[in-house]
Structure 1
């Protein structure tokens, strides 16, 4: 074999290795799902804890009223939770809501040029200082959680003192807006919440998402709040929680619906922020990879390293070899073999992904099956471009000592 054949073989091996890991996570997640749906619903304790719900809101006038109405409509005891909006440029609409619900525990913190406009972590730290609850719950400004969401999260958390946080499931509210939101809907079901369930089953490991979760206030204060340098503040704080010896649990009964990017430009910028944020978290914790302290987060560190470095390199190499071979510029004896594996990978991806959406009512359709096939051919390549762009951007920021900027995701009516 030529040196190109060796590189192509390693690339295909890497791609298949990561694909197999995802299939295993899917199977474990599905088993976890079947077990959880058979369990009785978690019940609140007799002494219901007071919860501070914090919502960072920067230019969220389009969506904030609907979100607040959902939060005010929780079936959690009304006198046992407050809502804190860390507000930046949404004042008029918030004032309108406050006038409609004057008897509720609704507080608005208005930031200024000194302490505002510095990203989500900074906003959450500001809100934490004025929060009264022993438990803190976070919702993004585009969320419409189900009435039962907070009750399920708190009940699950209070059932086990070893738990630092409980996370819920989020669904795509605007999934029919465009082909992109159809992609995101499948991605959310398969590669976010089902993967969470699989990691919980195999490794007792869950990552806090950016929304729809509850966490103990004393643990937050013990670890010093949110890292203001982290664009992926949810992953970063999850790692610190695990390093302290606490656990995070996934409760799929707690559901929120959120608005997703409808255009490629908005999606690209949002996902680039995710990539930069996760690279920051990886590098911050990489030294712990094979230490006792890093043992609880070892799988995630290896997984992120594989996704952002090994898989990206393998996909670029594999795609390049395919293009060069078709153009007649380069030849590899393994191209035919790799094409067979590529076809098998598509079939494996489609079947495993389709299995995950069977857990959701109305998602098991022929149209979604076609979307999944299209995702492998198109959406994965889009993610490759995002990963490469995010990595280059992160390196550039480090070289020129630039502060990473928080990209504000565009909202829609």
Structure 2
């Protein structure tokens, strides 16, 4: 084998790295319909434990009133539900809002004020959890965000799973619920269906849950006590950390898709970037902290075992975690092949993007059918999730010569050899070009009058590549050791239940 042959093999392996996340995504979606027959409902039953709701609040006056009113209106026995609002030394009208609601519902809403604020969400939660565990009254504890709205039957549908003593925690489906969502909010709404309604159904089937939704974590008291009675304060992903600990100690974590919780999500790329960098950095920390879990023999101190170490769960986790790396490797592989083996490059490009086309059609169709309510609001964003640019590249793979020969012929023009070469290289490198363009999307939005150009470019680049760019930024910030303060997303109370 010559050095040329070795180089070709290496470049082909780089391209193959880009196929792995696509296949992992398809495998996960193939498990979604299995959830209809393999779920936890058979082991659930009517169960209404005494629940304490812990709501961390730092300057949440704009949204708390509506959230507390909805909690008081849940289809749940009033004498079995208490709400602890943990005020993290807020400087707005948060205390006044909570105290007014506490006066309306004496004994059911409690205002807990922290004298020292700014330590982070986990510290705030722990203040409330400590108070709840100090009293034998609490049988289950629900952690939620201050801005979310619980549908009336949501808590009841979650608690039924705790009738099974092997279940440690239950999470719900967080749906984007803004009354008049903008472009970014609609993209997030569609993404939440893929990352929750679909992915967590598949995780139910696998028996390994990646994360309890931060705004909807229901824990059995025994589970809280077993994981130390506290939320981890050393990571930015305290919800994921607790999810892993629960399963490592032999208790199940269940996703309840019928329990719907509405949340207001960012409607700007700048706000989205700030939120998701925090999430992505948390995942970096979790991946390192639990490095002995990945692809190892399952172990549990209680002997029940767990599936976090399974090949399927690990492959899906790392396919998402390393997605920007995989996209970059595929682009570099194709561009390298173009210069050393152009015929192989052309065939490889078509094969790679044919797989992408099949995955795109399958995943998009399944997602749009999975949650009709979100589909009515976000079907355009669903179709354009990978970006107009990626769809053009898919067509280039599906119909060879379309953009280089056929369309120019229809238009009565002729492309030069140089133009065809540049266009081909753009197709081959598109995944990297899209990720790099995400920074331009954010920059444009911050300029006066730049919102509309930013939105247009967002549709061209795609929401998926923007998320990958944010992940890359998170890698860099985590490597530099940037600040990990509780930098929450501002909410305005736009949720309509």
Q: Same fold (TM over 0.5)?
A: yes
Q: State the distance in 2 between where 1:338 and 1:298 align.
A: 33
Give the one of 181, 185, 198 matched to 1:194.
198
Q: 2:349 aligns with which of 314, 339, 357?
A: 339
Choose the corresponding residue for 1:313, options 325, 345, 353.
325
Q: 1-side partners of 2:383 and 2:10: how far apart?
A: 27
For residues 230-264 of structure 1, what are the alpha-carbon distances to aligned partners after superposition, in whole Å with 9 as ceiling and x for unaligned?
21111111111111011111211211101111100
Could you say what the CA RMSD is over the residues aligned between the two structures, in angstroms? 2.7
The aligned counterpart of 2:270 is: 265
Distance 1:208 1:345 in 2: 29
Q: 1:321 to 1:11 in 2, by over 3 A?
A: closer
Could you state the TM-score of these two structures normalised by the residue count of structure 1?
Answer: 0.88
Go from structure 1 to structure 2 and tell me whether the alpha carbon gap of 1:27 and 1:267 turns closer, same or farther (over 3 Å shift): same
Q: Equivalent residue for 2:486?
A: 406
Which residue in the other structure is 1:388 paired with?
472
What residue is the counterpart of 1:237 in the other structure?
A: 242
Partner of 2:46: 44
Q: Say if 1:346 and 1:383 are closer, same or farther in 2 by CA, change over 3 A.
A: farther
- Preserved CA contact (<8 Å) 1:145 1:255: yes
Q: How many residues align?
A: 398
- Aligned equivalent of 1:227: 232
Is contact 2:63-2:147 (8 Å) kept? yes
Alpha-carbon spacing, 1:5–1:72, altered in 2? closer, same or farther (3 Å): farther
Secondary structure at the aligned position of 1:385 is classed as: helix
Tell whether the 8 Å contact from 2:368 to 2:379 is kept in structure 1 after alignment: no
- Distance (whole Å) between structure 2 residues aligned to residue 175 and residue 343 of structure 1: 38
Structure 1 unmatched ranges of 5 or more? none
Measure, in 1, the Cα distance between the counterparts of 2:276 and 2:33. Answer: 26
CA contact (8 A) 1:56 1:85 kept: yes
Q: Displacement of 1:361 after TM fit?
A: 2.9
TM-score of the aligned structures, taking structure 2 as reference length: 0.74
For the pair 1:209 / 2:216, whether they are aligned, the reply is no
Q: Partner residue of 1:126? A: 127
Deviation at 1:342, TM superposition (A): 1.9
User: Following superposition of structure 1 onto structure 2, how do residues 241-260 of structure 1 map, counting pairs within 5 Å?
Assistant: 241-260=246-265
Corresponding position: 1:77 with 2:77: yes
Higher alpha-carbon Rg: 2
Q: Secondary structure at the match of 2:491?
A: coil
Whole-angstrom distance in 2 between the partners of 1:360 and 1:267: 22
The counterpart of 1:348, out of the listed 340, 352, 359, is 359
Structure 2 residues without counterparts, runs of 5 or longer: 301-305, 388-461
Distance across 2 between alignment mates of 1:211 and 1:182: 19
C-alpha contact (below 8 Å) 1:75/1:151 kept by paired residues: yes
Paired position in structure 2 for 1:105:
108
SS of the equivalent of 1:242 reads helix
Aligned to 1:163: 167
